[in-house]
Structure 1
Amino acid sequence: MRISIVQTKPLKGTIDQNLRSHVKFIEAAVNKNVDLIVFPELSLTGYEPELAQELATTASDSRLDVLQQLSDKHSISIWVGLPTRNNNQLFISMIIIQPNQNKITYSKQYLFPPEREIFTSGNNPLVFHFDNEHIVAPAICFELSNPEHHEYAAEQKATIYIASVLNSVTGVDADIEKLSAIAKKYKMTVFMANYVGQSGGYECAGRSSVWDQQGQLIAQLDGVTEGQLIYDTKTTNILSDPLFD
């Protein structure tokens, strides 16, 4: 299975422009026969909680049709971030797009304390069976700091744990240590997709990474450059230079 984690520099609150950037990364991943591509937390808007009321949408938003078309055509699963709305409630969500299937909305279950003033916690724990070998668990940022989240993934026999995050330069080292520990404790291959640049008032740290099942760092992007890191779980190789123009 080939997995890409994408490191982006978000444009504040501009879904259409961020979407165009996402398409470029997906097309590059398709050329490397990637099976799953994952973007950072709230990747299509940037991490902008104060804009969530204005920007929130649903998985049926027609602007996402281009991603579904790419998924169907190239048999690639695509995970992107959006604030979503259900009646009067707002959620930090991951839209999960799979080939020739209905979209799934996974909403952050464990909110960072300041987020609780704006967002509602999700209540839809899940893992994905990609084939006979790989069970993949999604995590959205602060969820990786909650033992209940990775314990659930382990109970479901997840072999891969993917964290879609906004991680700041002041917080990234702690989360890198946590993700390495998750990999080692549960014998999972663990990924982190993060931003570079600024978003939500944070200076984002980049350093998107992958760890093996012993918790050892396999590969990591830098702290300033947009790019994607592609990992082949069968060969355990990085397929190419992870940075794309």
Structure 2
Amino acid sequence: MKPLIIAAAQSTAIAGDLAGNIARHQHFMRHAAEQGVQLLVFPELSLTGYERELAGELAVSPHDSVLQPLRDVARETGVTAVVGMPIRLSVDTPVLIGALVLAADGSLAVYSKQHLHPGEEVAFAPGNGGDPLTIGSDTIALAVCADFSHASHAAAAAISGASIYAAGVLITPNGYTPDTALLQGYAVEHGMVVLMANHGGTTGGWASAGGSAIWAPDGSLIAQTAGTGDFIVIARRNAHGWSGQTLGVEVPQ
């Protein structure tokens, strides 16, 4: 197996503050780069917070120049970042929940959440997913929160050849046990690494459980946070298999 380092960014969002959240993401990316991380996945709507009532005014084109500072850091550090953002694919189209892949080579890819959680339809339309991404010899399939509640979504990722299934989410304490059991089950069923990046604190009026985690293809836990707060959850692969590490992140105020 070729060496690989992936990570979940358990970040806390400032409600509706795109500039402030971009600065926080840059800090996470640089911190991850110090650990050799190649892929860093942020929570659902990480750049705005899970603020449904603000989504329409905050939504941008994936190619908007407001995201250029993050794309610059991706190239500078060599960290491919998957960030959460409300997006419009053109001026007159509905708002989607986007996961934007800001690649280390400067390229951009778009994933849009396919399966909405009940209540999200007031602010968002269902998206069309997106192509898997490739890092070295690995294929990574993306998911955003409720996507993974559909077994067919993870199955399609496996059929596409994905060795890693990476989800940016907002999971509350009540949903944490069943949701993580589902994700761990996908690791076992499909022989994939499964990564889950949850919010580090309350967002949009919803309490997050934190507890971001990464599971190995046999379902064993590689690394996990103990609860909420700002953390990077790292999984490293070498010839001997997977090892994990969880690092706290002190985000500048």
TM bin, normalised by shorter chain, reads: over 0.9
Percent identity, aligned pairs only, is 33
Question: Hey, what does 1:15 align to over in structure 2?
Answer: 18
Question: Hey, what does 1:65 align to over in structure 2?
Answer: 68
Question: Hey, what does 2:144 align to over in structure 1?
Answer: 140
Question: Hey, what does 2:177 align to over in structure 1?
Answer: 173
Q: Secondary structure in 1 aligned to 2:46?
A: coil
Question: Hey, what does 1:155 align to over in structure 2?
Answer: 159
Q: What 5-or-longer segments of structure 2 have no aligned partner? A: none
> What is the TM-score normalised by the length of structure 1?
0.95
Q: Give a deviation string over 1:128-152, Cα, whole Å, max 9, x none.
A: 22222x1111110000101221111
Question: Hey, what does 2:116 align to over in structure 1?
Answer: 111
Deviation at 1:8, TM superposition (A): 1.2
> What is the TM-score normalised by the length of structure 2?
0.92
Question: Hey, what does 1:44 align to over in structure 2?
Answer: 47
Deviates more, 1:68-77 or 1:166-175: 68-77
Q: Which amino acid aligns with 1:151?
A: A
* Superposition pairs of residues 1-245 of structure 1, within 5 angstroms: 1-85=4-88, 86=90, 87-132=92-137, 134-234=138-238, 235-238=241-244, 240-245=245-250
Q: Give a deviation string over 1:72-99, Cα, whole Å, max 9, x none.
A: 2222211100000132311000111112
Runs of at least 4 residues off by over 4 Å: none
Say if 2:169 and 2:196, in contact at 8 Å, map to a contact too: yes
Partners of 2:105 and 2:185 lie apart in 1 by 36
Say if 1:4 and 1:34, in contact at 8 Å, map to a contact too: yes
Partners of 1:241 and 1:105 lie apart in 2 by 28
Q: Give a deviation string over 1:205-242, Cα, whole Å, max 9, x none.
A: 0000011111122221021221111111224122x552
Q: Give a deviation string over 1:100-126, Cα, whole Å, max 9, x none.
A: 343112100111121123211111442
Q: Secondary structure in 2 aligned to 1:222?
A: coil
Q: Give aligned pairs, total.
A: 243
Partners of 2:130 and 2:34 lie apart in 1 by 32
Q: Give a deviation string over 1:151-187, Cα, whole Å, max 9, x none.
A: 1101111111111001111111111000010000000
Partners of 1:191 and 1:139 lie apart in 2 by 10
Say if 1:196 and 1:203, in contact at 8 Å, map to a contact too: no
Say if 1:41 and 1:165, in contact at 8 Å, map to a contact too: yes
Q: Secondary structure in 1 aligned to 2:30?
A: helix
Q: Secondary structure in 2 aligned to 1:199?
A: coil
Q: What 5-or-longer segments of structure 1 have no aligned partner? A: none
Say if 2:192 and 2:217, in contact at 8 Å, map to a contact too: yes
Instruction: Call closer, same or farther: CA 1:217–1:69 in 2, change over 3 Å.
Output: same
